[in-house]
Amino acid sequence: MQFRAGILYVVLFVVVAAGAYGVIATAESPEVTIDEANADYVLEAGDEFEVDGQTFNVSELGAGTGTVEYVDEEAVLEVQWEGQGDGDWDGGDSVFLGESEDDEYHLMIIMPEAAEDDEDEAEPEEFLLIEAVDDDEFEIVQREGEPYVVVSEDGTEELVHVTDVDEIDTQVYQEGDGIEFYDDEDETMVDGEVTDIGTELVTVEYIGTEIDEYDLTNAETVTLNDQEFGVYFPSDEQVYLTSDLDAFQAQHDEIEDHGDRVQGLWWVASLAALTAIVIAGLAFMPVRG
């Protein structure tokens, strides 16, 4: 009797496990899609489109991913040059005031003398650009943080401050001064403004071109000009963008619910199979007496 009852329960739980597995195997997982009629933008590689006055360009599409670019030709950019005031006179960054190699200058931050009763380090207010010269032609040494040129006259040598040597071009800049320099990234001359002079860095702002890139991923969202869009790739050559995020999120919720149901069925199948094994083992145990 025990054996027969055990077999019946084993069959029952095997059927339950098989049924749960069958539902899992045949269940079709929902996908996030966007109908072309409901898309705000239907785009291909190379297309331009406008979002609230900003023009974007689809630079790349393929395999469910893509890239959108926004080119800002009037972006406020900045460059920082290093020039430690307490270091070597030529230890700072090189700044080019023209397009040729002969237009190279060394940047040196001018450190002011602190007052005797001032415990805080004085902040610099100026920096010096020193024309890069041939070491064989000019010998420049540093004395008390200042650059001097060794000048020989009548067999004697004397030190002349580099700003007083006519053969070496020097330029002094303060905050708010304009400066024209060569931008090696854009390979062009730009007009900048000195906005900050620190003990180690000089900051210059200028107007230039900046390219912002935005990644597109299938079934994800992207924010363009403060507007959020759902992304769907119907093919490798096209992408749809929709601003109907409620419908877009509803599809994500369906996928999450489907995943929860499938996970629950896996638990049912696993527990039913395990229970069938345990009952089968008990059914074959010998009965005392």
Query: What's the pLDDT tens digit per position in 147-189?
Result: 899 988 777 888 989 999 999 999 999 999 999 999 988 889 9
Q: Is the pLDDT of residue 268 over 90?
A: no
Reported as type and span, the H/E element at residue 101 is none
Instruction: Identify the band that residue 1 occupies on the pLDDT scale cut at 50, 70 and 90.
Output: very low
94 and 204 belong to one structural domain: yes
Where is the domain boundary, 186, 211, 236?
211
200 and 150 belong to one structural domain: yes
Instruction: Identify the band that residue 113 occupies on the pLDDT scale cut at 50, 70 and 90.
Output: confident
| Average pLDDT value for residue range 50-79 | 94
Highest mean pLDDT among 23-27, 89-93, 135-139, 223-227: 223-227
145 and 262 belong to one structural domain: no
Residues 198, 201, 207, 209, CA torsion sign: negative
Domain membership flag for residue 71: no
What are phi and psi for residue 260, nearest 5 degrees? -65, -40
Where is the domain boundary, 211, 232, 257?
211
pLDDT tens sequence across 192-222? 999 999 989 999 999 998 999 999 999 899 9
Quote the mean pLDDT of the chain. 83
> Are 276 and 17 contacting, i.e. CB atoms less than 8 angstroms apart?
yes
Domain membership flag for residue 161: yes
0.75 cut: is pTM over it? no
Where is the domain boundary, 188, 211, 234?
211
158 and 108 belong to one structural domain: yes
91 and 121 belong to one structural domain: yes
Domain extent, residue 256, equals 1-64+224-289
Q: Is the pLDDT of residue 258 over 60?
A: no
Domain membership flag for residue 219: no
* Bridge pairing between strands 41-43 and 238-242: antiparallel
Site of tokens 């084993």: 10
Q: Is the pLDDT of residue 117 over 90?
A: no
Split into its structural domains, the chain has a count of 2
203 and 272 belong to one structural domain: no
| Average pLDDT value for residue range 124-135 | 91
Q: Which amino acid is at 167?
A: E
Domain membership flag for residue 52: yes
Q: Is the pLDDT of residue 243 over 70?
A: yes
106 and 37 belong to one structural domain: no
> Are 166 and 149 contacting, i.e. CB atoms less than 8 angstroms apart?
no
Domain membership flag for residue 70: no
124 and 96 belong to one structural domain: yes
Domain membership flag for residue 81: yes
